[in-house]
Amino acid sequence: MRLVLQLHIPADARLLPRTRRAVAGFVEETAPTAEVVDDIVLALDEACANVIRHAFPSGVDGSIHLLADIDDERVSVLVEDDGVGFDPFDVDLRGDIERTSGRGLDLIRKLMTSVDVESPTETGVGTRLRMQKHLGRSG
């Protein structure tokens, strides 16, 4: 079985609770445990919060394109924006254990099985984050 959920939402923090609920409801029908659902939803929330916080710094209205794809073996999530982009390798937390900002991408990498970040995208703007969580079963 394969299920696909596609959302196009404004980059607005007020919509994050609804987005989390939509994805959780979508994923919980096929995920093997509540912990897997929680990992995916938290990773998604961090990705969307990063877009809202960083992609549109000049106050320009932006949007988030979200695509979740579930099959018997994995959940794949794509989060895409057309904001300013960033260097995903330029996050340095060394020596600053009290720092609360800049940990989102690291957290996403710990929660998901694989994470790929493209920024800027081939259009020269925006960020595309692909993440997968293996479900630990086959067939």
Are 40 and 110 contacting, i.e. CB atoms less than 8 angstroms apart?
no
User: In this structure, what token pair is assigned to residue 20?
Assistant: 């989390």
Where along the chain do its domains lie?
3-134
pTM of the prediction? 0.86
pLDDT in tens, the chain (139 residues): 889 999 999 999 999 999 999 999 999 988 999 999 999 999 999 999 999 988 988 777 899 999 999 998 999 999 999 998 877 766 554 445 444 455 789 999 999 999 999 988 888 788 999 999 999 865 4
Report the topology of domain 3-134.
Heat Shock Protein 90 (3.30.565)
Max Cα separation, the chain? 47
Residue 30, number of CB atoms within 10 A of its CB: 16
